[in-house]
Structure 1
Amino acid sequence: MSTLTALTGSTFRLSSFQLKLIGILLMVFDHIHQFFPIDVPIWFTWIGRIVAPIFLFASAEGYYYTRSKWKYMLHLYIGYVLMGIMNMIIQRQLPSEHVLINNIFGTLFLAVLYMFLIDWFINSIKARKYVQIGAAIIAFILPIVLSQAAMQFLTSSAIGNPVLFNLFMYGNLLIPVPILVEGGYVFIILGVLFHLLRYKRSWQVLALVAVSVLIAWMSHFELLAEFQWMMVFAAIPIALYNGTKGRNMKYFFYVFYPAHIYFLYMLAYWLGK
């Protein structure tokens, strides 16, 4: 029984397929506002705040059920690299006031990677495989170290060196680091919490609420100035999840996500000429 069902008595449920459809629909609203901020009302992006938690939750479920966790991570990584390359190419060919920073694949990849590393660490402890324990710890720390190195570079005078800057940008195309992906550490941690708490739906919802409150606190509760906290409303569809896959849409998101971003970018570019 879902958390929301226990509270309301409703028998309405959502499959993973339906959850993703909700996420995709609201994602389009959000990105329409991103590329047409003057002509489109702000509430388009308000409702888009619930998209990231939905896809982080779906990724945690996908990680649990997938037959090959390595293959799952590889798909997300390839999505990150290809979209990063396409972002760079399109912006160079069609320079615009809009910056193509969208690439949720990096966030999902790192979230799933940390799910894998935590499981690897726990299983290695249970099996008393000390070499694997050490390897898991090193792999866990490495992205954090790379994040710190990236921040030091971005805040140093070296960023003014075009050669070093280009090396940094090309390196970031191949190596996603927590501090630079969409949502940063916060989204990665939320995805990991969805994984660790997957047998307690109420705890998953509470984790989402806690992270949302933390974001509101960090923005000094200026509710309209910073509205990422609105992702708390993703608790409703997540609580209604029934644990089933529903229709198969394995590669649809991998194609639709970048395709609609580039369509909106190019539309904004041509309308702005």
Structure 2
Amino acid sequence: MSTLPVLNGSSFRLNSFQLKLIGMLLMVFDHIHQFFPADVPVWFNWIGRIVAPIFLFASAEGYHYTRSKWKYMMHLYVGYVLMGIISMLLQRQLPSDNALMNNIFGTLFLSVLYMLLIDWLVGAIKARKYAQMAAAVIALLLPFIINQAALQLLTSSALNNPWVLQAFIYVNLIIPIPAFVEGGFVFIILGVLFHLLRQKRLWQIVVLVAVSTFAAWAGGFDLWVNYQWMMVFAAIPIALYNGAKGRNMKYLFYVFYPVHIYFLYILAYWLGK
């Protein structure tokens, strides 16, 4: 795997486990600000912007190294469904102004799904298996079709029919829709590009810079109010990644992510925040 030339002589490098630990630590800061916005400084949220790119990058690495890509993808899907159901039930039991919208599992699942489908299509093209090529193209288009159908449904019927909106909520619990997962299409595409460019670290960082610039443009370049562009600083830990796995604690993130969010939600509820 290629690395940035300036880092080739550096003795300080990060393995995959350490990279994820950094992401987990910074996500705690981010979510503390989310649930206690009036009590903590905004820079908690700033440093949280680098978390999603770190885990999208880690998912591309995990996809490459896992022995069962389908099993890896299904772990993310089960995490998405379980977290969606638990979040819905928790908000019903402890209603709060803090909306439990967090579920990065959906974004990671769709990113990995597209990694798998693209690899499937490339393999079919190389083998000249035309039926498999057609199936792969249809599978690639299906999430976009579902996404457009959902958007059309919400813009036409849901405004006048609360049952339609309720049905959409339940469907979205089991079918992650690209426009409604965290980061939407932008994060999904970023994860896929990390996969396609995984042998070219410099180009991975160029893509991250480009996506961050797009985020700044979409926010009207009001950089201190719309600060999603700060995810560009994820380039630093990504550049320091050495390709090694590190400690084998693959389920740590699956547990830590929802548990710390629910802890903060319940704490904010008890404190009346």
Q: Verify same fold: TM over 0.5.
A: yes
| 1:2 counterpart residue number | 3
Residue equivalent to 1:29: 29
Q: Hey, what's the Cα distance between the residues in 1 that align with 2:234 and 2:57? A: 10
The yes-or-no answer on 1:189 pairing with 2:197 is no
Q: In 1, distance between residues paired with 2:104 and 2:198?
A: 22
CA distance in 2, matches of 1:142, 1:118: 13
Identify unmatched segments of 5+ residues in structure 1: none
Corresponding position: 1:99 with 2:99: yes
1:10 Cα deviation from its structure 2 partner: 2.5
AA matched with 2:131: V
Q: CA deviation at 1:9?
A: 4.4
Which residue in 1 is equivalent to 2:212? 212
Aligned partner of 1:73 in structure 2 is: 73
Mapping of residues 52-71 of structure 1, within 5 Å: 52-71=52-71
Indicate the residue corresponding to 1:230 in structure 2: 230
Read off the aligned partner of 2:207 and give its amino acid letter.
A
**1:180 alignment partner in structure 2:** 180
5 Å matches for 1:2-151? 2-3=3-4, 6=6, 9-151=9-151
Using the TM superposition, give the Cα deviation of residue 249 of structure 1 relative to its aligned residue in structure 2, in angstroms: 1.4
The amino acid that maps onto 2:51 is: V
Letter in 1 for 2:62: G
Asked if the contact 2:107/2:187 (under 8 Å) is kept, the reply is yes
Distance 1:8 1:15 in 2: 15
Please state whether the residue corresponding to 1:156 is helix, strand or coil.
helix
Identical positions, percent: 72
Is 1:153–1:159's contact at 8 Å kept on the other side of the alignment?
no
Given that 2:3 and 2:200 are in contact with CA atoms closer than 8 Å, whether structure 1 keeps it comes out as no
Q: Tell me the amino acid that sits aligned with residue 123 of structure 2.
A: N
Partner of 1:261: 261
Give the residue type in structure 2 aligned to 1:138.
I
- 1:146, distance to aligned residue in structure 2 (A): 1.0
Query: Residues 238-257 of structure 1 correspond to what in structure 2 (within 5 A)?
Result: 238-257=238-257
Contact 1:212 1:229 in 2 (8 A): yes
Alignment TM-score, normalising by the size of structure 2: 0.97
Over aligned residues, Cα RMSD in angstroms? 1.2
Segments of structure 2 that go 5 or more residues without pairing to the other structure are: none
Residue by residue over 1:123-159, the C-alpha shift from the partner in whole angstroms, topping out at 9 and shown as x without a partner, is 0000111111111111101101111111112222434
Deviates more, 1:17-26 or 1:218-227: 218-227
